[in-house]
Structure 1
Amino acid sequence: MPPIFRSRKLPEAVNQRISRFPEDVQEFFHEMVSADRSPLTVANYAYDFTLFFDFLHERELELKDVDSQTLKRFFRHIENGYERSVMIKVNDEWIERKHYRENSRSGKQRKRASLRSLFRYLIRAKLLERDPMEEYEDASLKARSKQKVPVFLTQEEALRLVKAVQSYHAKKKKKNWMELRDTAILLLLLNTGMRVSELISLNLNSIQSQGSQYRIVVIGKGGKERMLMLNRTATEALIAYLTLRPVDRVSPLHVEALILNKNFTRISRKGISEILKKYVKEAKLPPKAATISPHKLRHTLATLLLSNGENLRVVQEILGHSNIQTTQIYTHVINTEKDEALERLENMF
């Protein structure tokens, strides 16, 4: 029986999941935690590996038995969706709940990346002699690369989204702290382009002020730190929220969290998504924008900055991209808009 995995940096449900893996695989997760990989990344790897090891268990296979054909069958097995188990605590007992998940294109890519990392680790640790993932990828037909143009809001749509917070709460006699919080959330995302994971991990001491100038310290991927200036609009929204932010009712474990949920604990990714979904509906945005996600507000800032003539390198620094090629995808958006504008001229002459 494998040992019990424990890390204070991870949620208990993730520790429970990792404890089910072979000891050598648990060591891989110890390496991830030591390398300061984000808890979300570690959790995603744990979910991906659960699918893989459940597949092996059903076929009475061990890691040493895995070859390129096994991997091919696994990826076909989850191609069109799969059941994912989630560990939840009920009356001090951990139980497993299952729910169905679609296997998106990005999800497929992540699962391949997860297993690629695992097998490379096992080779480096001399626990395996050959890399079946490498053999599988060498033999596989490469899917045609489809570079999607990022979905984003126009400036007018972004303004409508922010104003939707006020219209949604207009029936109430006075502003409550959650209305001010939601305005601050939207303006922070739209004016800094930070990732959702970066937003929810912000603490009160992430904010630095000098006179009327406010900056926010963001911890990005790989623990990389960047400092972003808040413009006047975002600053005023943040100060308004902090003025009414609850203090006495906050859980001791979450007292330092900048953004709180209705239960006075640190807000989650799902909480941010639900907030955005509510105001997208209130703003009655067009179909293209109606499915907007928190990450697409990041796309919105990048596109608006480049449309205004900002330097690509500067936008890269603001977004915290390690590779400028990631930032360059937004230039395709601008070029596409230019092409469409010129094409519309054919009806004018």
Structure 2
Amino acid sequence: MEIGDYYKLLEAVDHEKDPRAYALFLFLFNTGARISEALSVDIERVERVGNGYKVAIRGKRGKVRDIDFNQETYEALEKFLKRTDRDFKCRGALFTTYKRFLEEDSQNPQDNYLGTLHRLSPKMADWIVKKYAGKTKLPRTKFFSHNFRHLIAKTLLDQGTSLDKVKNFLGHTNISTTALYTMGKASKLREVKSRAMRSARIQILEKKYRNCWDIAGILVDALSENPRISDAKLAELLGTSKASFSRKHKKLSEEIRGEFLKI
């Protein structure tokens, strides 16, 4: 999930018809909670602190961490609770599903329902995410509740938050687990650095072989893209036979190849 996908999901939710989905998406993103942690939260764990709000998240091995969240999330939770005839003075599960059943003597199946609130299950939470992913034309098979946790972690790291702070925020025991969230970022950085290094080497080689750049230039272009390209292919690019290439250009090509194999 990218940040743009997150906002697409929020925009797809009708706040009036489905306040639970809106509150769930905001809560998962703002707290970075695992779905099991989020669904185990009880109403009484949500507190107002000064001008903000916090929730006590019980993580693995029973460890509790307090997570701050914003006004928008609080108001969305409040709206959802009101839909279920509850408020923050109540106790019990924060996120619920309303299981309904008909009165035995009901004459009007559309109106006469009784119901009981049950804690929302991870399976149902995933179904909600996939439902709105489908509405926004996002691939349903790639969207799960856990995506929100990955997204906030990547967002914090991209903003320069230290790995140690993100570790504590996510409730990781080992910082190496948190480091996994940097893999995509590190991969992009390596790619940018690699392009810059290739560009610098090309400039150096261009100056070094300016007197024979008609030949060297072709070799540099090919070897910068693929340092392991075969001699046969290089000979073909130069319009010569493999035997002639070996006699006239092998040494030059190997020197240039070595420059790009260092990257």
* TM-score bracket, shorter-length normalisation: 0.5 to 0.7
Q: In the alignment, residue 297 of structure 1 is paired with which amino acid?
A: F
Q: Deviations over 1:247-303 (max 9, x none)?
A: 49xxxxx96111111312111111111111101111212x5x751211122111111
Q: Which residue of 1 aligns with 2:66?
A: 227
2:206 matched to 1:334?
no
Q: Residues 284 and 290 of structure 1 are in contact (CA less than 8 Å); yes or no, is this contact kept in structure 2? A: no
Q: Distance in 2 between matches of 1:262 and 1:343?
A: 54
Q: Deviation of residue 306 (structure 1)?
A: 0.2
Unaligned runs of 5+ in 2: 100-116, 203-263
Q: Distance in 1 between matches of 2:26 and 2:84?
A: 17
The list of structure 1 runs, each at least 4 consecutive aligned residues, that deviate by more than 4 angstroms after superposition, is 340-347
Q: Which residue of 1 aligns with 2:76?
A: 237
Decide whether aligned partners of structure 1 residues 290 and 304 sit closer, same or farther in structure 2, where only a CA change above 3 A counts: farther
Q: Residues 44 and 91 of structure 2 are in contact (CA less than 8 Å); yes or no, is this contact kept in structure 1? A: no
Q: Distance in 2 between matches of 1:281 and 1:340?
A: 32
Q: Deviation of residue 341 (structure 1)?
A: 5.3
Q: Deviation of residue 200 (structure 1)?
A: 1.0
Aligned match of 2:121 in 263, 268, 271?
268
Q: In the alignment, residue 196 of structure 1 is paired with which amino acid?
A: I
Q: Residues 202 and 258 of structure 1 are in contact (CA less than 8 Å); yes or no, is this contact kept in structure 2? A: yes
2:33 matched to 1:194?
yes
Secondary structure (helix, strand or coil) at the match of 1:276 reads helix
Secondary structure (helix, strand or coil) at the match of 1:194 reads coil
Decide whether aligned partners of structure 1 residues 158 and 339 sit closer, same or farther in structure 2, where only a CA change above 3 A counts: farther
Secondary structure (helix, strand or coil) at the match of 2:172 reads coil
Unaligned runs of 5+ in 1: 1-152, 170-174, 249-253
Larger CA Rg, structure 1 vs 2: 2
Q: Which residue of 2 aligns with 1:159?
A: 7
Q: Distance in 1 between matches of 2:59 and 2:178?
A: 15
Question: How many residues of Structure 1 are paired with residues of Structure 2 in the alignment?
Answer: 180
Sequence identity percentage: 33
Q: Distance in 1 between matches of 2:194 and 2:11?
A: 33
Q: Deviation of residue 228 (structure 1)?
A: 0.2
Q: Distance in 2 between matches of 1:301 and 1:202?
A: 19
RMSD of Structure 2 on Structure 1 (CA): 2.7
- TM-score, normalised with respect to structure 1: 0.47
Q: Distance in 1 between matches of 2:191 and 2:78?
A: 41
Q: Which residue of 2 aligns with 1:277?
A: 130
Q: In the alignment, residue 261 of structure 1 is paired with which amino acid?
A: T
Q: Distance in 1 between matches of 2:53 and 2:121?
A: 24
2:167 matched to 1:316?
yes
Q: Distance in 2 between matches of 1:247 and 1:158?
A: 28
Q: Distance in 1 between matches of 2:33 and 2:164?
A: 16
Decide whether aligned partners of structure 1 residues 311 and 284 sit closer, same or farther in structure 2, where only a CA change above 3 A counts: same
Q: In the alignment, residue 170 of structure 2 is paired with which amino acid?
A: L
Decide whether aligned partners of structure 1 residues 337 and 162 sit closer, same or farther in structure 2, where only a CA change above 3 A counts: farther
Q: Which residue of 1 aligns with 2:43?
A: 204
